[in-house]
Copies of this chain bind each other. A is one copy, B any other.
Amino acid sequence: MIVVMKQNATGAQVANVLARVEQLGCRVHLSEGEERTIIGVIGNGRPLDRERIERWEGVERTVPILRPFKLASRDFHPQDTVVSINGMAVGGRQLIVMAGPCSVESHDQLLEAAWAVKEAGGCVLRGGAFKPRSSPYSFQGLGEEGLRLLAQARAETGLPVVTEVMEPQLVPLVTTYADILQIGARNMQNYALLHAVGKAQRPVLLKRGLMSTIEELLMAAEYILSHGNDRVILCERGIRTFEKYTRNTLDISAVPMLKQLSHLPVIVDPSHGTGKWRLVEPVSRAAVAAGADGLLIEVHPHPEEALSDGAQSLRPDRFTSMMRGLRPVAEAVGRTL
């Protein structure tokens, strides 16, 4: 960490900072410029509290040098993490397409979607049983009945299942039914939930919060990793900006940026990222071209009747055609689909 002293900081104030930093067990480097005195602080491995130091007399501000995440960082784990799910590898050469309806609505709806996903080449079935909705008057999901339908669809199609868990105390229940636990964007900083899935024996699909920086996403992953679960898949799903023609702004640069900063696999959700089904195909191609390890796509047999997010769901025939168009793009960047 670097401590920048105020322009008019006194010698006593500088001496005080030096002494206190050394009391914290750190070494210091003093550098006196014409306009500012700068103090380099060499840590002892424990994190330093910048805010506290910024309150000391004569200090203007502090500047962090190291990234705050460790377990999630490629610096400390240079090789790619590959997450294995029922024999499939997320983060390897093969792209993983997870698809299915936003909400599980009925046996027929789910099975129709699941078979369409499987036939088109998707390899994981997604579907929400517990739904976070911004209005208390919207459909909130089928709950455990939805989980049972997902398990049934898995039994019939052989597709592993990813579904969202929204509360720490529901982690054991959802773990019973799901192959991958999804943490939704609104819960990316629900620390009790991160703790709970960090203790679970399931891979976690961690969606970036719509208000979260890349660094905060990696810190959320750090929570899960630090509780002992090292099977974390990151998911870029669009951030909130001033642009209103799309539901969110999909941050395509986050894909290669995350791959450079971290060893964890990265997938992209173009359905939530754009909010418009007409944009899902071109943005899916972009995600694969940018180096994503997979996709999360909303597919609904009858989007115009969907109980949630119909506007961003693909019909099965369009999903099939999208998958067909994706294959040459995958090959162009050295991947298979």
Contacts and interface: CB of A to CB of B under 8 A. Distances in A.
A312 B249 CA distance: 22
B304 A52 contact: yes
Interface in A9-56: 29, 31-36, 38, 40, 42-43, 45, 47, 49-56
A87 interface: no
Interface stretch (A109-117, A121-129, A148-156, A205-213): A205-213
A159 interface: no
A172 interface: no
B241 A55 contact: no
Contacts of A269: none
Contacts of A244: 213, 244
A186 interface: yes
A211 B304 contact: no
A125 to B, nearest CB: 22
Contact of A332 (B45, B190, B328): B328
Given A42-B34, A210-B211, A304 B223 contact: no
A255 B239 contact: no
- Oligomer: number of copies: 4
Nearest to A196: B167
A260 interface: yes
A298 to B, nearest CB: 11
A85 interface: no
A336 B291 CA distance: 21
Q: Say whether chain A's binding surface is mostly helix, strand, loop, or mixed.
A: mixed
A239 B245 contact: no
Interface string A312-325: 11000000000001
Contacts of A36: 65-66
A59 to B, nearest CB: 9
A33 B38 contact: no
Interface string A280-301: 0011011111110000000000
Contacts of A140: 191
B245 A134 contact: no
A245 B49 CA distance: 19
Interface string A234-263: 000001111111100111111111001100
A33 B48 CA distance: 14
Interface stretch (A92-100, A174-182, A271-279): A271-279
A278 B65 CA distance: 20
Contacts of A66: 35-36
9 contacts: A34-B42, A49-B307, A137-B226, A166-B192, A211-B242, A243-B251, A246-B251, A250-B253, A256-B279
Given A52-B304, A241-B242, A328-B332, 10 more contacts: A34-B45, A36-B65, A38-B65, A47-B137, A55-B306, A63-B63, A68-B135, A132-B189, A239-B243, A282-B289
Interface of A: 2, 4, 7, 29, 31-36, 38, 40, 42-43, 45, 47, 49-56, 63, 65-66, 68, 75, 132-138, 140, 166-169, 186-187, 189-192, 209-216, 219, 222-223, 226-227, 239-246, 249-257, 260-261, 273-274, 276-279, 282-283, 285-291, 303-313, 325, 328-329, 331-333
